[in-house]
Amino acid sequence: MANSSAILLPKTERILTTVGEQIKLARLRRKLSSEQVAERAGIGRSTLVRIEKGDAGVSIGHLINVLRVLGLEKDFLLLAKDDELGRKLQDADINTKSRAPKR
């Protein structure tokens, strides 16, 4: 089976593009070449280019490795940290199931 990228909504694509641009800016601020970052992250330069363009088909492991090289791996821990909707549901004492329903 061939690798395929996820089908994303335009808003989600813009988010990925923004993340890629931010990673590229972080690399440039550190005056690191794409070859240096790719080598240190254990990926090919073309994979780094895909990350910096916001390609949805790139492995999350590769993304984490690039963040590690840039010293930004702790930023990944901030994802979904403040789950405002989840906290409101919890505060309203609405029962939430531990698993999603089967389809």
Domains of the chain: 10-91 (1.10.260.40)
How crowded is residue 71: how many other Cβ atoms within 10 Å of its Cβ?
Answer: 10
- Say whether pLDDT at 88 is over 80: yes
3-class SS at 9?
coil
What mean pLDDT do residues 68-73 have?
96
pLDDT score of 46: 97
How far is it, in rounded angstroms, from Cα 52 to Cα 34? 10
Distance CA 80, CA 97 (A): 19
pLDDT band at 6 (very low <50, low <70, confident <90, very high): confident
More confident residue, 87 or 96: 87
Whether 71 shows a pLDDT value over 90: the answer reads: yes
Read off the pTM. Answer: 0.78
What average pLDDT does range 10-18 have in this prediction? 95
